Amino acid sequence: MNKYELAVVVSAKIEDEERTAVVDKCKALIERFGGTITEVDDWGKKRLAYEVQKMKEAFYYFIKFEAETTAPAEIESRVRIMDNVIRFLIVKQDEE
């Protein structure tokens, strides 16, 4: 099992319950592909470095998880087509 972190930037134009549903869907995808979530970090609403889809602000979430090497590609392919996800990135964490 490798350690990964999924960074998700969610649209600020949606309601709180919709935003929670997007994050829950990301967590469900991780678990569906055999991952174990270790931590969810909610950074809240932050200003974007540059305008994306005519938005200047968005909500940032960081989900740390452990999974097999094939899981990130599967998760990424599904997060890519999710509504209200502006940007995302999965990075492998260094072993400490």
CATH annotation of 2-92: 3.30.70.60
Dist. CA 30–CA 13, nearest whole Å: 25
Tell me the per-residue pLDDT of 27-65, one tens digit each, with 9 for 90 and over.
999 999 999 999 999 999 999 999 998 999 999 999 999
| Mutual angle of helices 16-32 and 71-79, in 10-degree steps | 150
- Look at the pTM and tell me if it is higher than 0.75: yes
